[in-house]
Structure 1
Amino acid sequence: MTTPRDLKKELRSAALARRDALDAAWRVDVGQRVATHADALAPSPGGVVSSFWPMRSEMDVRPLMTALAARGARIALPAILDKTTIVFREYLPDAPMIDMGFGTMGPGEGTAVLDPDVMLVPLAAFDARGHRIGYGAGYYDRAIARLKVKGCAPRLIGIAFDCQQVENVPDEAHDQPLSEILTETGLRRFTEA
C-alpha cells in the first residue's frame, strides 16, 4: 500500500525534474519579473517578510527581496539551528552570509531573529487547494506551527513555477497549507485558505 509519504516522494521527484528541466536563463528572467508583485506582497512599512536564498533550480527571489525592502519591509531568511528547527534571521545586504547546508545561505548567529508577517515559502510541488510538498525535512511546517502557537498568523505565499503544480497533494496532520502561490503567471489565492 502506498503511504502519503511515499506518494509525496514520487510527486516531489517528478515536480523537481520538471523544474530542473526549465531553461536557466528563463528562470532568471522570471525571478526578475516576479519582483513586480512586490506591492501586492509587501506588509505595512517595517513589517517582516521571510524569504529564502535560492538553491538548485528554485526561482531566484532575490530581486523580489530587494523590491520588498525598497517598500519598507524588513527581510528575514531561514537559519537552520538543528535537524528540526529553523528560525528567521534578519537579512542585511551588507552583512556576511553563512552556509546553511542544502546549498543555501543565511545570516549568521548574532543576527536578530524576527517573526514574519509574510512568508515566501519554497516548495517542490503544490496543488490547487494550497497544499504543498516541501523537500521532506518538515522545517517550514514546524516553523509555521510554532509561529501559530506564539499567536502569529503570517500570510503564507508559496514560490514556484507553474510546472510544479500537481493534481493532489496527500494531506497529513502536520501540513500547513498556503494561502497564495506566486508563479511566472502571477499571484493566485487558494480557495480553501
Structure 2
Amino acid sequence: MSHLEGGPESDKRMLRRELLAVRNTLTTDELREAARALAEHALELPELARARTVAAYVSVGSEPGTLALLDALGARGVRVLLPALMPDNDLDWGAYAGEGSLARVQHAGKMALFEPAGERLGPDAVTEADAVLLPGLAVDARGMRLGRGGGSYDRVLARVDRAGARPALVVLLYDTEVVERVPAEPHDRPVDAVVTPSGVRRFT
C-alpha cells in the first residue's frame, strides 16, 4: 500500500478507506459465518475464560459480529459492559442483559450505534474489566491496532492505564485485517491478542 506525505494520520485515513471498502463487499452469509467462528475462538481465550467482567461493544454494519459472543459470555455468568458514546467522543458504560437491553442510538454525523438502554455506570466502570474487547480495522505484527479514528478507545486505554488496571486487550477482526504494519503514533499502544474467524494470534 502506498503512503502519502503527511505522516501517520494521513496514512491511517487512507488505510481505513481501503479496509472499509473490503468490509463493505461481505455478504450477509459471510458476516453470519464470521461472527459464529469469531465467537467460538474468542470463548477459548484463557483471558475470557477467567474474566468476571468484560468490556465489549455491539458490532454495527459490516464489523465482525459480536452479539453471539456477548450472549455466550453472559450465559457463562460474565458481567458484560457495553459503551455509550458521549458528546465529546468519550465512552460511558452500561451492563448488557441480552439483545432486548439494547437501544439503537443515532449520533449526529455518525452511524447509528446499539448501546445499553439501562443505567449508566460512568466512564471509570471500564477500569473494573478483566478484559477489554476492542473494535478496529486492522492490527499489525507488533500488535498495533488501527481504530476508526474517533479517539474514543484511546481515551479508554489511557483511563485504564491511569487506574493502574491491566486488563487483557483483545481486538476482533477479519483474517485479511491482520497486516504487516499499520501507521502508529506515540500514544498508540499494542493489544495482547487478535481474534479472527480462523483463530487467535497473540502478541508479546
Per the normalisation by structure 1, the TM-score is 0.89
Between 5-14 and 64-73, the greater mean CA deviation after superposition: 64-73
| Equivalent position of 1:155 in the other structure | 168
Given that 1:155 and 1:179 are in contact with CA atoms closer than 8 Å, whether structure 2 keeps it comes out as yes
Q: Do the aligned residues in 2 keep the contact of 1:51 with 1:121 (CA within 8 Å)?
A: yes
Aligned amino acid, residue 81 of structure 2: A
One-letter amino acid of the counterpart of residue 157, structure 1: V
SS in 2 for 1:151: coil
Please give the alpha-carbon distance, in whole angstroms, between the structure 2 residues aligned to 1:126 and 1:96.
Answer: 28
Mapping 1:102-141, distance limit 5 Å: 102-108=111-117, 110-113=119-122, 114-115=125-126, 116-141=129-154
Structure 1 stretch displaced more, 18-27 or 122-131: 18-27
60, 82, 87: which is aligned to 1:82?
87
Is 1:73 aligned with 2:78? Answer: yes
User: One-letter code of the match for 2:26?
Assistant: L
- Structure 1: segments with no counterpart, 5+ residues: none
Q: Find the aligned partners of 2:179 and 2:11 in 1 and give their Cα distance.
A: 12
Given the alignment of the two structures, is residue 145 of structure 1 paired with residue 151 of structure 2, yes or no? no
Give the superposition deviation at 1:36.
1.8
Q: Which amino acid aligns with 2:199?
A: G
Identity %: 32
Cα offset for 1:57? 0.5
2:17 and 2:64 map into 1 onto residues whose CA distance is 17
Moved more, 83-92 or 118-127: 83-92
Which of 131-140 and 103-112 deviates more?
103-112
- Cα root mean square deviation, aligned: 1.8
Structure 2 Cα separation of the partners of residues 71 and 108 of structure 1: 22
When residues 141 and 122 of structure 1 are mapped into structure 2, their CA distance, relative to the original with a 3 A threshold, is same
Q: Which runs of 5+ in 2 are unaligned?
A: none
Aligned pair partner of 1:48 in 44, 53, 76:
53
Deviates more, 1:99-108 or 1:48-57: 99-108
CA distance in 1, matches of 2:131, 2:144: 17
In structure 1, the residue matched to 2:26 is 22
1:7 to 11, 21, 34: 11
Q: How far apart are the structure 2 equivalents of 1:51 and 1:169?
A: 23
Q: More displaced, 72-81 or 18-27?
A: 18-27
Runs of 4+ in 1 over 6 A off after TM superposition: none
